[in-house]
């Protein structure tokens, strides 16, 4: 959010498109460097939490982490059934990355740090996440059903010439809508709230931050739960 305040105040709207350096012929932007930092942070945190695990939690940190994971597992069981545990590593990775990315824009002075930008406020990042969901869905479907997974593209068979292009289009629209929903909500929400902070800097900040915290968590949950729904549909038994 603070990066949008900075951009609005300085009249610069291209902060997120700034190229910091080139790596292997690819342009590296602030969203990418922030994404790398978030990934490193999650890896380090995971290492710290798991290196001293006990069967019976003896630390508040382990107890808190187990409570969060168990709550997420129960949530995903309502979508994926007893198979939920097999999808947890991917789904929880999505959730952790997205929620930390959403909250990264709340760091004080973030908009003034060169190379720092909330990754989920850039469509390229959310589109990349959606592409992972898309290919994961196809992989899980084929793993569960074999090549029979593709039957839903031509069901019913006598309408195959019509259903095949519609089925392919539907599969392609899913990742597009998934990525656009997350990007639009984070980018649009931060832009509007940043404008409110500029016009009412004294009265609004606390309520704005509270809304951003809620929105960041909700959007992470929506993305992850929709991914779980796609996986469930791809692996569901036919009746």
- Listed by start position, the domains of the chain span 2-235
| Average pLDDT of the chain, as a whole number | 79
Close Cβ partners of 200 (under 8 Å, ≥ 6 residues apart): none
Alpha-carbon separation of residue 160 from 89, 148, 174 (angstroms): 36, 15, 21
- Confirm whether pTM is higher than 0.85: no
Which range, of 57-61, 132-136, 161-165, 197-201, averages the lowest pLDDT? 197-201
Dist CA 67 CA 61 (whole Å): 10
pLDDT band at 21 (very low <50, low <70, confident <90, very high): confident
pLDDT of res. 66: 87
Tokens of residue 196, six digits: 């409110």
The answer on pLDDT for 2 being more than 60 is no
Nearest to 188 by CA among 102, 96, 75, 97: 102
The answer on pLDDT for 22 being more than 90 is no
The answer on pLDDT for 237 being more than 90 is no
The answer on pLDDT for 8 being more than 60 is no
For the four alpha carbons of 152, 157, 163 and 169, in that order, the dihedral sign comes to positive
23, with CB counted inside 10 A (0-12, 13-18, 19+), is exposed
pLDDT band at 239 (very low <50, low <70, confident <90, very high): very low
- Average the pLDDT over 150-157 and give the result: 71
- Contact assessment for residue 65 and residue 49, using Cβ atoms and an 8 Å cutoff: yes
pLDDT of res. 131: 92
Q: Bridge partners of 87?
A: none
pLDDT of res. 193: 63
The answer on pLDDT for 16 being more than 90 is no
113 torsion bin: left (phi>0), alpha (psi -120 to 50), beta (else): beta
Verify cis geometry, omega within 30 degrees of 0, for the bond prior to 160: no
Beta strands in the chain (DSSP E): 21-23, 26-28
- Average the pLDDT over 219-237 and give the result: 88
Dist CA 187 CA 226 (whole Å): 20
The answer on pLDDT for 109 being more than 60 is no
- Average the pLDDT over 28-55 and give the result: 87
Close Cβ partners of 220 (under 8 Å, ≥ 6 residues apart): 94, 95, 98, 99, 102
Close Cβ partners of 176 (under 8 Å, ≥ 6 residues apart): 127, 130
Which range, of 129-138, 159-168, 175-184, averages the lowest pLDDT? 159-168
- Contact assessment for residue 39 and residue 97, using Cβ atoms and an 8 Å cutoff: yes
Specify the higher pLDDT residue, 193 or 24.
Answer: 24
Q: What would the pLDDT profile of 53-104 be if each residue is shown by its tens digit?
A: 788 778 888 888 888 888 888 889 889 888 888 899 999 999 999 999 988 8
Specify the higher pLDDT residue, 70 or 149.
Answer: 70
């Amino acid at each position: 959010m603070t990066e949008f305040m900075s951009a609005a105040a300085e009249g610069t709207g291209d902060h997120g498109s700034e190229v910091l350096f080139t790596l292997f012929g690819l342009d590296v932007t602030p969203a990418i460097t922030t994404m790398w930092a978030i990934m490193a942070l999650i890896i380090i945190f995971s290492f710290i939490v798991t290196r001293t695990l006990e069967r019976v939690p003896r630390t508040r940190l382990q107890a808190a982490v187990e409570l969060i994971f168990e709550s997420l597992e129960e949530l995903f069981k309502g979508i994926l059934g007893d198979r939920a545990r097999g999808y947890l590593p991917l789904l929880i990775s999505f959730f952790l990355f997205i929620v930390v990315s959403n909250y990264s824009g709340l760091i004080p002075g973030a908009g003034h740090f060169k190379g720092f930008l909330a990754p989920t406020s850039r469509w390229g990042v959310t589109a990349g996440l959606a592409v992972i969901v898309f290919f994961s869905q196809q992989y899980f479907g084929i793993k569960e059903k074999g090549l029979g997974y593709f039957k839903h593209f031509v069901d019913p068979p006598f309408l195959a010439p019509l259903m095949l292009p519609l089925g392919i289009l539907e599969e392609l629209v899913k990742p597009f809508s998934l990525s656009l929903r997350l990007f639009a909500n984070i980018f649009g929400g931060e832009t509007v709230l940043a404008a409110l902070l500029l016009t009412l800097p004294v009265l609004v900040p606390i309520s704005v931050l509270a809304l951003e915290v809620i929105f960041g968590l909700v959007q992470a949950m929506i993305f992850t739960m929709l991914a779980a729904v796609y996986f469930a549909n791809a692996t569901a038994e036919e009746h």
